[in-house]
Amino acid sequence: MLRQALLAASRSGGARRIMETAPFTGDVVRRFVAGETIEDALRVTEELSGEGLLVTLDVLGEDTSDKNRAEANATHYVELLERLGDAGLGTRAEVSMKLSAVGQTLDEDLALENARRVCEAARSSSTTVTLDMEEHTTVDSTLRIVQELRRDFPDVGAVVQAYLRRAEEHCTELAYEGSRVRLCKGAYAAPAAVAFTDKEEVDRSYVRCMKVLMAGKGYPMLATHDPRLIEIAGALADLHERDASTFEYQMLYGIRPQEQRRLAAQGAQVRVYVAYGREWYQYFMRRLAERPANLRFFMRSLAGRS
């Protein structure tokens, strides 16, 4: 119930105004958000790369309902990718992009056109793009766009959310050679008809999906902070004789940084999901909803300022 309440608050204009104007919010948000500018993103990317970690950068700002705004968001991604290339970070950092930020809400063809521009910039900077998965109502559209982009950009990453009941089916369809697939639990509200609502059910779905991906010929990107799931992933890698170059772990910026470094020190590939930008509210609320530990951290910060 708490998770659903937080996800509902992520859509509330009133709750957003309170959070954005509260004097204590900035310090807490900075734990999960790298900053507001491309310079902030590059600085954090260089820091993480220097510690042996990979990076994926997300420009915050989704649910765009204006064509000009969608095109501006795509242009921002192009600039970010050019800056990554100029800084020599293309081999260490990719970008994650929400299609709703580049026009999916308005028109699927518009989103495809803008995403294609971003993919071209990524190729020029020797890196890649992963298309984030969002609300359950957009899954089919997003997978269609992934399929179309992969005709020219086969390294475009797809995302599967384990909390959705069709997740295992999607993993089976995507586990082919060269296919980059991020598996995450999912951080959006969805009805029980299409999604598992019990944490244990979501975990079991995640393991089933992980088994499919690790047994397949693609490149799994396992997005989890759960120690049990990380341990199972390692066992599956041994079972299928996968070396560290054939899959990676992914974790969020600001969450379990010591574990990120521990895994990297052991030779694993670990990619940190780094979000930046002024439109941080929805992203931040989903981070609180995902893990009780995040909410406890937030509440302790409030108590410390009272």
Average pLDDT score, the chain: 88
Report, as residue numbers or ranges, the catalytic residues.
132, 182
Question: Burial of 304 by CB count in 10 Å (0-12 exposed, 13-18 middle, 19+ buried)?
Answer: exposed
| pLDDT for 189 | 82
Beta carbons within 8 Å of 288's beta carbon, 6+ residues apart: 6, 294, 295, 298
What is the Cα–Cα distance from 63 to 237, expressed in whole angstroms? 37
Calculate ∠ Cα 268-118-162, nearest 5°: 50
117 is written with which tokens? 């521009």
Structure confidence at residue 187 as a pLDDT band (50, 70, 90): confident
Closest residue by Cα to residue 182 from 146, 219, 216? 219
pTM tops 0.75:
yes
pLDDT (average), residues 150-167? 98
Q: Which residue has the higher pLDDT, 76 or 35?
A: 76
Segment 114-120 shows an average pLDDT of: 98
Q: Measured between alpha carbons, how far is residue 226 from residues 63, 223, 231, 255, 278 in Å?
A: 29, 9, 9, 11, 29
**How confident is residue 9, by pLDDT bands cut at 50, 70 and 90?**
very low
CA distances from 149 to 57, 113, 158, 261 (A): 19, 10, 11, 33
- Asked if pLDDT for residue 193 goes beyond 80, the answer is yes
Which has more confidence, 292 or 207? 207
pLDDT class for 62, splitting at 50, 70, 90? Answer: confident
* Mean pLDDT computed over 144-149: 98
